Amino acid sequence: MKLSELLEGVSVVSGGFDTQITDVTDDTGKVSKGSVFVCIKGAHFDGHDAAADMIQRGAVAVVCTHSVGLEQEIIVENTRTAYALMCANFFGNPARKLKLIGLTGTNGKTSTTYFIKSLFELFEIKMGLIGTMQNMIGEECFEAKYTTPPAYELQALFAKMVEAGCRYCVMEVSSQALAQGRVEGLHFSTAIFTNLTQDHLDYHGTMENYAAAKKLLLQNCDTAIINADDPHAAYMAQGLSCKVYTYSAENNDADFVAKNIVLSARGVTYELLGDDMIARLKCPVPGSFTVYNTLCAASAAISEGLDFRKTVSAFSSLKGVKGRIEVVPTDTDYTVIIDYAHSPDGIINILSSVKEFAKGRVIIVFGCGGDRDAGKRPKMAAAAASLADFVVLTSDNPRTEDPVKIVDDAAVGLQGSSVAQKIIVERTEAIRFALGEAKADDIIVLAGKGHETYQIIGREKRHYDEREIVKGILAGEI
């Protein structure tokens, strides 16, 4: 490929020459002879500082936002934007051969993307999926290191999807990815906003910045689908030039509405009204948030042209997602549920849903992540105390922080609460305590880890699967 082809569509300020190139990267460790190095300034490292070294290592050009004093430099307006466009060009712009469905929001993205993928495949439409748990091309699975991969990896996935015959890709689009321009140049057939609650303020700083990042997705699509029950719905819809649909479990004026909702331990049922039609939807995944996830998925599928009644009927055969209100086999008279809830709103959602069908007490075991928004720690504890019958506060992924300090930060949210509570910093011991505390008909919620099978301590990722932990404790092997 020629450098001029790589830079097609990029706003070049100055510098220009043409040569054959072999690769493009923003990673100093991946520069090789013939590659183009894009200088991106991050939180801890500025690629501009390494530009000269990259030329010495074999790069034929460096792309910068300002001059670094090199003959081989090309200056652009924004290197993050440029990198996304260059990666797309390098792989032949594969996303143009796919219809993209993107979801953004604090909660519900993962489950909803799986519902959407399953729905389309029941209509024999081959789908790709990009998200928090894993990336998929049809039934083939790939490890996911990010909710939304960096531009190079993202375009490589799109290329594989096209090669495999996929017609659609449904993907989670994180606020960081939007703010960092990872999806720059992509156009979405359908863009979805699920909800917005406090999360990732360690990155965005304010809720206003967080909301603005989310809205970027809705500004680049043919159809926007918005949760009308979220307080930010009006802001998200304001000024959009695309077609806009809304869904709701509370507002009859929405385009898609869930009525006569019935919740049970066996799942959810409700009447879906929309598209001048009505049908009874049944889904075997319990929890009130399943109403919103299925309502969102149905809205997306129907807006993309899938048959209304066949879509609604299909939900009865769909399964839940690993780590989302996942019931762990225990052969006990109490129930253990694993859920990924790791924010105040996530904890409220899972506990509210479980209490809707719990016959006994609800015991929650949860912790807060290290090197992340410390402001939500007491809020998570307060949320747990407001709904659980017993709170066990423990560790999650402490990363480079002292786990005792993290727990102390969170414990502030338990002050003044009369809820039964226990603080056990070591997570396995906290789970052991909860299992020993449980009585018949109780429900234990292990919150925070969800699908994760690791724990990050310091900078080391250690194997840690709560399913194995529960099984081992009950068998007396741990």
CB 231 within 8 A of CB 193: no
pLDDT at 205: 64
Based on the number of CB atoms within 10 Å of its own CB, is 214 exposed (0-12), middle (13-18) or buried (19 or more)? buried
Compute the distance between CA of residue 385 and CA of residue 130 in angstroms, rounded to an integer.
Answer: 34
CB 109 within 8 A of CB 103: yes
Tell me the average pLDDT across 434-459: 95
Which CATH entry fits the domain spanning 326-474: 3.40.50.720, 3.90.190.20, 3.40.50.2300, 3.30.830.10? 3.90.190.20
| Domain 94-317 falls under CATH 3.30.70.2190 | no
CA angle 9, 304, 90 (to 5 degrees): 25
Checking if the pLDDT of 199 tops 70, the result is: no
Q: Which of 173, 167, 126 is nearest to 154 (CA)?
A: 173
CA angle 474, 475, 478 (to 5 degrees): 85
Better-scored residue on pLDDT, 210 or 355: 355
pLDDT at 353: 86
CA–centroid distance for 333 within its chain = 33
Checking if the pLDDT of 296 tops 70, the result is: yes
Residue type, 65: T
User: What's the pTM?
Assistant: 0.79
Tell me the average pLDDT across 399-419: 97
95-104, 219-228, 257-266, 372-381: segment of lowest average pLDDT: 257-266
153-157, 319-323, 368-372, 412-416: segment of lowest average pLDDT: 319-323
pLDDT tens profile 39-63: 999 888 999 999 999 999 999 999 9
Tell me the average pLDDT across 407-423: 97
Domain regions of the chain by residue span? 3-79, 94-317, 326-474
pLDDT at 43: 82
Q: Which of the four pLDDT bands, split at 50, 70 and 90, describes residue 200?
A: very low
Checking if the pLDDT of 396 tops 50, the result is: yes
Distances (CA, A) of 267 to 112, 172, 248, 294, 423: 15, 24, 19, 11, 32
Which CATH entry fits the domain spanning 3-79: 2.40.10.10, 3.40.1390.10, 2.40.30.10, 3.30.499.10? 3.40.1390.10
Q: Which of the four pLDDT bands, split at 50, 70 and 90, describes residue 322?
A: confident
CB 456 within 8 A of CB 441: no
Q: Indicate if 94-317 has the same CATH topology as 3-79.
A: no
Residue type, 339: D
pLDDT at 308: 97
Checking if the pLDDT of 202 tops 70, the result is: no
pLDDT at 289: 84
186-195, 199-208, 266-275, 443-452: segment of lowest average pLDDT: 199-208
Checking if the pLDDT of 198 tops 60, the result is: no
CB 213 within 8 A of CB 177: no
The Cβ of residue 462 has, within 10 Å, a number of other Cβ atoms equal to 10
> What DSSP string runs through 428-455?
HHHHHHHHHH--TT-EEEEES-TT--EE
pLDDT tens profile 234-246: 999 999 999 999 9
pLDDT at 320: 76
pLDDT at 263: 85
CB 165 within 8 A of CB 126: yes
Return the C-alpha torsion angle 267, 270, 273, 279, nearest 10. 90
Tokens of 290: 């399943």
CB 389 within 8 A of CB 357: no
- Quote the percentage of the chain above a pLDDT of 70: 98
Tell me the average pLDDT across 359-386: 96
Based on the number of CB atoms within 10 Å of its own CB, is 393 exposed (0-12), middle (13-18) or buried (19 or more)? buried
